[in-house]
Amino acid sequence: MDADRIRAHLDPIRHEFADPRSLVMPALKFAQTEKGHLTREDMAAVAEATGYSPSFIESVASFYDRLYTRPVGNRVVSVCVTLSCMLRGADEVWDALCEHEGVDHHHGGTSADGRITIQEAQCLGYCDKGACIQVDAEETKGPYTPEEAVKLVEELREAPTPAELWR
Amino acid sequence: MAEYAPVDLTVENQVEFELDGRRVAAPAGTMLADACYAHGVEIPIFCYEPRIGPPIGACRMCLVEVEGMRGLQTACSTPVAPDMVVRTTTDAVKEAQDGVLEVLLANHPLDCPVCDKGGECPLQDRTFKFGPGTSRYVEPKRHQPKPLNLSHRIALDRERCISCFRCVRFSQEVAQDGELTMQERGARSEITTFSGDPYRGRFSGNIIDVCPVGALTSIPYRFVSRPWDVQNTPSVCGLCPVGCNTELTVREGRTKRVTGRPEPNPAVEEGWLCDTGRWAYDASWSQARITAAVVREATGDRTATLEDAVDGAAALLRGRTAGILVGTAATVEEAGIAADLAGGALPGAVVARMGIPGGALAPLRALPGAQLGDVDDADLVVVAGGDPSAQQPVAELRLRKARRFGATVTGCGPRPHALEALGTFIRTAPGDLAAGVASLAEAIAAATRPVVMWDEADLAGEPAAAEALAAAIAANPAARQLELGAEVNGSGLRALGLPDAGAVLDAVRAGTVDALLLVHADPLDAPGRAAWDAALEGFAGPVIAIASHADATTERADLVLPALTMWEQEGTLVSMNGRVQRLRPGARGPEGAAAGWELLVALAHRLGVVPGYRTAAAAFRAVTAGRPAFAGITPEAAGVLGVPLAAPAQVAGASAPPPASGEGVPLVATRTVYGGAAARRSAALADTAAPAELRMAPDTAAAHWVNDGDRVVLRSSSGESGRLTVRVGDGLPEGVVFAPLGAPGSPTEGVLPADMAPVLVRVARVEAG
Amino acid sequence: MPILNSVYRHREAGRPLTELAAYREAGGYKALESVLGETDADDLQYAFVRSGLRGRGGAGFPMGRKASFLPKDSRLPKYVVCNADESEPGTFKDREIMEMNPFQLLEGLTLAGYAIGAVRGYIYIRGEYEHQARVLDAAVRAAREAGFLGKDLLRSGFDYDITVYRGAGAYICGEETALLESLEGKRGQPRLKPPFPAVAGLYGSPTLINNVETLTALPPIVTRGADWYAALGPEKSPGTKLFSISGHVVRPGNYEIVLGDTTLRELIFEHAGGLREGRRVKAVWVGGSSVPVIGEEHLDTPLDYESLQGIGTALGSGGCIVMDDSGCIVRACLRLASFYRHESCGKCSPCREGTSWFERILQRMVDGDGRMEDFELLESLFRRVSGKTLCPLADGAIAPIRSAIKLFRDDFIRVCQEGSPRPEPMLPASVG
Ligand SMILES: Cc1cc2nc3c(=O)[nH]c(=O)nc-3n(C[C@H](O)[C@H](O)[C@H](O)COP(=O)(O)O)c2cc1C
Ligand code: SF4
Ligand code: FES
């Protein structure tokens, strides 16, 4: 994403912050919407648009779980594996999804066709709906059985991404 | 490296508190870690580095017990308070120290025997002193890819990093280069640059000094030596006029490393060095190093022993009237002995110094002066002309620090430069610095503790601006001036009363001298080179050069006496702020070479006049005797941290340069220390060598019919330049062109007059880009 | 079913109040209207003090007292920051408030702003709550249009607006100073205290930070009176509290109880529908995952700050995680250890290195490679790390494990020798 677009996105909220550094996070989140993750060029553009060094921008981006400095699949499926969800079968859901997408059972990963990334999430705040799953950064739902979870990724695989829909 | 902030236990109104049962005192606001250290109690620290900035409390190594406070407190961030009761050796404290070291060592490799830091490593030392005996960590250690190069000069071994944040805070807060940051999170945190790009910075080497473990090491120093088979010697950097205090690490007679001083000089560099000062030492054994005397004869060059060469030099000089030219990096001793020759061994000799005449600067220099350290507590810092980052690098760090401490920074000048981002700067047209100065007068008058930094070269070229600036400073009794000098030992040579090079040049032209002795002087690579070229063209007398490296002048000389470099010899340099500081010999230098001052003494002997001194210290006393600037200053008094001159280093004569004549576009030249002359000789710095570029704005380029990438030469009334590559850039002022001094091959020097007075140049394209 | 004595209007009304009109109808913005221009800011602060309301984010610090720490004569602008980072495992009460009752939070945040003379309120919401953030965005717009936010609110001369700021996934940003760092656009790493946020918080300005639930309780305190609130529950723990209950219970969810009135047993067995057939309570983390774990013997403890402290645990965030006897305590501890290792920010050494080490040891135990000396080692590491870190995250990592080893030592010894087979989970299907 280019710096001008990021600037245009930030202009309406600039006045809300006494220090422009606060715009770094909104800028990063916005820049990520284009490709689903932040490329070197995206981070350089955020640096340009906000006036901080690219290294600083990358240091911020890399701190947060939901900012991706490495490529991810078209859809990101985050499986909550923290205690409450674990007690309600999160590990089974996780294993079923890793198996189904052919990714590493320890770290998750992106399916060979590049459409689905399976990743662990820490408590998503939907413990009452455990085992819960968040799709992209949008929506969390549950409870899922392993079979339902597999059905979900199959649907996601076919469905257009929000970005595709928007185009 | 300095780890604790110096604490002044003598100032009034100290806060009394109890330290391990003793009643002690420290100034209010002092952090416990510093206060304890001042009273002989070492609190172990890792993240705390008072020079970098306020404490961050990250490593948790400094925990102590403070009565009445819940839990242990970090001594690095707890200020002393009246009647505070502090305990540093209780079981709880010991357990905490043990605990922090245990977790830090859990994943730290046990490769001390092959680590460059081994033997001088705070982590190692503190583990011996405060740490656990054995490790209870049985898990496999975290592995990281093997050391990688953070730049051509710095290696990073991630496994050794203890995430103390010192290096990233140095980069972000002290150098403010924005390059190095901590990325990722938790145990995966790692220090890195943007996408792993090379670390580009002018001060990057300081991160090696501040790293408390062997995670950051100097590539040229890797595996070179161990702390127990080296000697460390405190010295001074002789590459620019700032005069940073350094520590030379020497092994087997060679300089293996230059670092900031463990006890930094707060008045000058505060322990920080620029990368040039840190890594240029390998110039000592570069290709261009002169390792043996050269005698140039009709049949060709031959090398000679030092004995024979000095005899030869004496023979060439005997009975002649010599012109003696002293280079700007020559020490006080060398310059002083050279001047002495005129009164004895070489009667009637004309002795002069290279560098800017600067007669017009007298009123400025007469005003109360500041040392760089004084910038810390200024409320206003004015930068008149110049480009400190390029010309006096470490001054940049002091300026940034002042800004961090809340000072207002402002200034004026003809060059766009890196420090302009720190405040409001007025861009002046070349030759019209006076206008900029006028607009600053009000701010100087209104400030409580202003420090006005002024650029020697720029103000020498514009006497009207110098006069106006002096008046503006004088109008505020609290204001102090700080000279941003152009030459390494300019102040020292002036303090000895040497006239400017014009005296020798005129004598050569007039034929009143018939021999030439050059002491670390290379007029053929310096501004005014065209004039010297012409003058030497028809000069029939012998030319004798005392020099450490081959240059245009040694090429021309009939006899070259190989001299030691600043890393190898004893001597005294006076910084741009008039600080008298001593070079101490670290390395031995090549077999066939000797210190410049020794060569001069030997020459005097051969010429039959035996000087009354045989050591550098005695020479210093002798040659400075009767010089008011040096009154009361002895080598002993200068000590390790140096002392300011007793009186400003003034020169006689009001030799105001003539205004720029001829036709063409004004040239603004900047001396580049980073990437300049030193980079040319040092393999470690080779990649930093600043290209010989002529920069200009688009319309200016159009007006001169040149494009980006064209190769051009400049012509002025003073001469012709070497080839420069045109760089067209936005953000540059129109109607002026910019070029570096000290670029490899010294191309720009050719168009400048010896006094660095403003010039107009014509731009001629010789090759399309 | 409407709830008696509810502090939250959507619960009282028994339906979501995401439209301004609906919220108004349910009594919304009466508090602000009654205060603006009528009540002195100091009096309002005093009402908060008298209500006895304690912070619901975890530490339970009295809200009114905290507001009173802000300097009155500061030349810097002041801010209120609402901590909506809700990332404590087992906690999802703020989520309910934000998605069902956003206006009451806005009203509470505005009241707090008025009480301290703030110029702006920020809601720092965890990045994963995108849906809730959108609900808040819409509510802020609606409130602004209706004149409840913006310039000269209700013609009282008070200017105040609210910004919803999204985090991007980091538990540590719930810690107040890390939150401020994050809100300032940096890595969310805690700051040294002092200075406390009340003195130097957001952008170095005096800042009041409170949890969503805390701020949302303010409007009823104004309309019904501080005394009404103070009279609910025990003297030192007045008011109602939302408990999030999850894990091995039949009806996981949020339940609002009057503090001190309900026991843990009632919460689990009456409100949350109890356990599966034939199962017994094994372990309960009653106030989120950062509190010491308790066992069956403590089920009859009343839920309030003091009583829970009395049995060696804490009310914390009210995120109550229940594990029945099908679960393995060592596995549960390992899972929490992984959580804290993942979330440690890496700034201070004991936490960064310690949390990794804890996880490694527990992993070995679960794999059946535990050694007897590991118990001593863990206890010694806990002693060396706890209370010595920059922020309390590491303490939160230690409390549940340390207490579990004490309480369930036999299970640990068995697992060390035999390892821990993965237990049968409580799948949704079996809940019915
Ligand atoms: C590691 C850590 C995580 C925290 N997470 C949260 C959180 O998610 N939400 C919250 O309101 N408070 C959280 N807190 C507590 C806050 O630091 C702070 O005490 C609270 O926001 C104050 O609000 P209150 O007084 O209304 O409870 C956390 C504290 C720590 C140490
Ligand atoms: S590399 Fe050295 S200075 Fe930098 S964080 Fe690691 S230990 Fe500290
Ligand atoms: S030196 Fe005090 S915490 Fe690091």
Same domain assignment for residues A104 and A148: yes
Contact B195 A52 (CB under 8 A): no
Q: Which residues of C84-95 are buried (b: 16+ CB within 10 A; e: fewer)?
A: bbbbbbbbbbbb
Taking only the tens place, the pLDDT of each residue in C20-44 is 999 999 999 999 999 998 899 999 9
Q: Is A25 on the interface with C (CB under 8 A)?
A: yes
Residues of B in contact with C357 (CB under 8 A): 103, 106, 137, 139
Min distance C430 CA to chain A CA atoms (Å): 10
Chain B residues within 8 A of A53 when measuring between CB atoms: 177-179, 181, 194
pLDDT, one tens digit per residue, over B400-409 is: 999 999 999 9
3-state secondary structure of B461: coil
Cβ(C50)–Cβ(C56) under 8 Å? no
- Are A91 and A142 contained in the same domain? yes
Per DSSP, which regions of B237-349 are E strands?
245-251, 254-260, 293-297, 300-304, 322-326
**Residue numbers in chain B where pLDDT is lower than 50:** none
CA B286 – CA B282 distance, rounded (Å): 7
pLDDT score, position C411: 96
Asked if residue B312 and residue B237 are part of one domain, the reply reads: no
Q: Is B210 found in the same domain as B194?
A: yes
Q: Are A86 and A47 in contact (CB under 8 A)?
A: no
Task: Determine the Cα–Cα distance for residues B88 and B189; give it in Å rounded to an integer.
Answer: 31
CATH classification of the domain holding A88: 3.40.30.10
The answer to whether A55 contacts chain B (CB < 8 Å) is yes
Interface subset of C 353-412, CB within 8 angstroms of A: none
What is the distance in A from the centroid of ligand 3 to the CA of C36? 47
| Cβ contact C353–B56 (<8 Å) | no
Q: What is the pLDDT of residues B181-194, one digit of tens each?
A: 999 999 999 999 99
Residue C220: other Cβ atoms inside 10 A: 26
Position C432 confidence tier, pLDDT thresholds 50, 70, 90: very low
Give yes or no: residues A79 and A126 share one domain: yes
- Cα(B382)–Cα(B180) distance, rounded to whole angstroms? 29
Compute, in angstroms, the gap from residue B32 CA to the centroid of ligand 1: 30
Instruction: List, as ranges, residues 15-54 from A with C-beta within 8 Å of B.
Output: 40, 43-44, 52-54
pLDDT band of A167, cuts 50, 70, 90: low
User: What is the enclosing helix (H) or strand (E) of C124?
Assistant: strand C120-125
For C76, the closest chain A residue by CA position comes to: A18
Longest dimension (CA), chain B: 88
Residue B623 lies in a domain: yes
Q: At what angle do helices A24-35 and A40-50 cross, to 10 degrees?
A: 150
The number of folded domains in chain A is 2
**How high is the pLDDT of residue B13?**
85
Query: Percent helix, strand and coil across chain C, each rounded to 5?
Result: 45, 15, 40
Query: Closest Cα partner for B190 from B135, B142, B137?
Result: B142
Confidence of residue C426 (pLDDT cuts 50, 70, 90): confident
Distance B58 CA to ligand 3 centre (A): 6
Is the CB–ligand 2 distance for residue B163 below 6 Å?
yes
Instruction: Give the closest residue to A150 by CA, choosing from A97, A73, A104.
Output: A97
Give the residue from C417, C405, C418, C247 showing the smallest Cα distance to C330: C405
What is the C-alpha to C-alpha distance for residues B437 and B411, in angstroms, rounded to an integer?
8
Looking at the CA of B159, name the nearest ligand: 2
Q: What's the rounded Cα separation, in Å, for the pair B278 and B259?
A: 6
Match 């405060």 to its residue by tokens: B130
**The domain C6-230 is classified under which CATH number: 3.30.70.360, 3.40.30.10, 3.40.50.1370, 3.40.50.11540?**
3.40.50.11540
The answer to whether residues A37 and A91 belong to one domain is no
From B448, B467, B486, the end of a domain falls on B486
The reply to whether A28 and A56 lie within a common domain is: yes
Q: What whole-number distance in Å separates Cα of residue B367 and Cα of residue B361?
A: 11
Which structural domain, as residue segments, surrounds residue A52?
3-61
Which residue's CA is the closest to the ligand 1 atom numbered 29? Answer: C175
Mutate to test the interface with C, among B76, B164, B185 (most CBs of C within 10 A): B185
What residue spans define the domains of chain C?
A: 6-230, 240-324, 329-418
H/E run at residue C395: helix C393-407
Q: Which residues of C51-74 are buried (b: 16+ CB within 10 A; e: fewer)?
A: bbbbbbbbebebbbebbbebeeee
Cβ(B581)–Cβ(B573) below 8 Å: yes
Residue B2 included in any domain: no
Q: What is the C-alpha to C-alpha distance for residues B268 and C186, in angstroms, rounded to an integer?
A: 33
CB contact under 8 A, B139 and C357: yes
On whether any CB of chain C is under 8 Å from the CB of A51, the answer is: no
Please give the angle made by the CA atoms of B611, B612 and B616, to the nearest 5 degrees. Answer: 90
Q: Judge residue B624's burial from the number of C-beta atoms within 10 Å of its C-beta, 0-12 exposed, 13-18 middle, 19 or more buried.
A: buried
Coil, helix or strand for B488? coil
Q: Hey, is C357 helix, strand or coil? A: helix
Same domain, B506 and B548: yes
What CA–CA distance (Å, rounded) separates C315 from B528? 82
CA A112 to chain centre: 18
> Residue B473 is part of a domain; what is its CATH number?
3.40.228.10
Residue-level pLDDT at B653: 61
**Cβ neighbours, 10 Å, residue B388:** 22
Ligand 2 pocket test, pick from B1, B100, B105, B163 with the greatest ligand atom count within 8 Å of Cβ, gives B163
One domain, residues B429 and B368: yes
Closest CA to B488 of B243, B672, B677, B281: B243
**Which chain C residue has its CA at the smallest distance from A63's CA?**
C187
Question: Which of B417, B451, B486 is a domain's end point?
Answer: B486
Are both B499 and B638 inside the same structural domain?
A: yes
**Pairing between strand B154-156 and B85-87?**
unpaired
In order, the DSSP letters of A129-147 are G-S-EEETTTEEE----HH
Tens digits of per-residue pLDDT, A43-54? 999 999 999 999
What's the pLDDT tens digit per position in C62-109? 999 999 999 999 999 999 999 999 999 999 999 999 999 999 999 999
Q: Express each pLDDT in B275-312 by its tens digit.
A: 999 999 999 999 999 999 999 988 889 999 999 999 99
Question: Among all residues of chain A, which has the CA nearest to that of C84?
Answer: A125
B344 plus B209 within the same structural domain: no
Q: What is the CATH number of domain C240-324?
A: 3.10.20.600
- Partners of A77 in beta bridges: A118, A135
Asked if the C-beta of C422 comes within 8 angstroms of chain A's C-beta atoms, the answer is: yes
Cβ–Cβ contact C1 with A under 8 A: no
CB B489 within 8 A of CB B521: no
Claim to verify: residue B216 and residue B348 sit in the same structural domain = no
Q: With the CA atoms of A100, A104, A108 and A113 taken in that order, what torsion angle do they form, in degrees rounded to the nearest 10?
A: -60
Q: Which of B31, B37, B47, B123 to mutate to test the pocket of ligand 3 (most atoms within 8 A of CB)?
A: B47
Q: Which residues pair with B618 in a beta bridge?
A: none
Ligand closest to C397 (CA) is: 1
CATH of domain C329-418: 1.20.1440.230
Whether the bond into C194 is cis, omega within 30 of 0: yes
- Collect all residues from B whose CB is shorter than 8 A from any CB in A: 172, 177-185, 192-195
Which ligand 3 atom sits closest to the C-alpha of B59? Answer: 4
Q: Residue C393: CB within 6 Å of ligand 1?
A: yes
Q: Where are the alpha helices (DSSP H) in C146-192?
A: 176-183
Is residue B10 domain-resident? no
Mutation target vs B (from C87, C344, C348; most B CBs, 10 A cutoff): C348
Angle between the N-to-C axes of helices B596-606 and B616-624, in degrees from 0 to 180, rounded to the nearest 10: 80
CA dihedral B356, B360, B361, B363 (to 10 degrees): 160
Minimal Cα distance from B200: which residue of A?
A: A55
The per-residue pLDDT for B756 is: 84
- Cα(B20)–Cα(A82) distance, integer angstroms: 47
In a domain, A166, yes or no: no
Place of tokens 């003696």: B324
- Of C192, C349, C390, nearest to B162 by CB-CB distance is C349
**What is the residue-wise DSSP string for B75-115?**
TTT-B--TT-EEESSSHHHHHHHHHHHHHHHHTS---GGG-
**Does the residue B5 lie in any domain?**
no
CA of A58 to the centre of ligand 3 (A): 26
- Residue finishing a domain among B259, B284, B309: B284
Are B606 and B517 in the same domain?
Answer: yes
- The pick from C173, C175, C213, C339 for probing ligand 1's pocket by mutation, whose C-beta has the most ligand atoms within 8 angstroms, reads C175
Q: In angstroms, what separates the C-alpha of A151 from chain C's closest C-alpha?
A: 16
Question: Is A134 at the interface with chain C, CB within 8 A?
Answer: yes
Closest Cα of chain A to B15: distance in Å?
A: 37
What is the residue whose two structure tokens read 């300049």?
A: B676
C-beta atoms surrounding C143 within 10 Å: 25
List the domain range (segments joined by +) for residue B278: 145-284
Please answer yes or no on whether A89 and C428 come within 8 Å at the CB atom.
yes
| B185 lies in some domain | yes
How many whole angstroms from B195 Cα to the centroid of ligand 3?
29
Same domain as B432, residue B348: no
User: What pLDDT was estimated at residue C1?
Assistant: 40
Please state the φ and ψ torsions of residue A67, each to the nearest 5 degrees.
Answer: -115, 125
Element (H, E) at C211: strand C207-211
Check: CB of residue B769 under 8 Å from CB of residue B740: no
Q: How many domains does chain B have?
A: 5
Which whole number is the average pLDDT over C146-170? 96
* Backbone torsions φ then ψ of C213, nearest 5 degrees: -65, -40
Q: Give domain status of residue A68, yes or no.
A: no
In a domain, A164, yes or no: no
Based on the fold, state whether residues A146 and A79 are members of the same structural domain. yes
Rounded to the nearest angstrom, the distance between the alpha carbon of C104 and the centre of ligand 1 is 20
Q: Examine the domain organization and report whether B266 and B350 are in the same domain.
A: no
Say if residue B84 is in the same domain as residue B229.
Answer: no
Q: Phi and psi for A7 in degrees, rounded to 5?
A: -60, -45
Note the pLDDT tens digit of each residue in C368-396.
999 999 999 999 999 999 999 999 999 99
Give domain status of residue B660, yes or no: no
Residue C335 touches chain A, beta carbons under 8 Å: yes
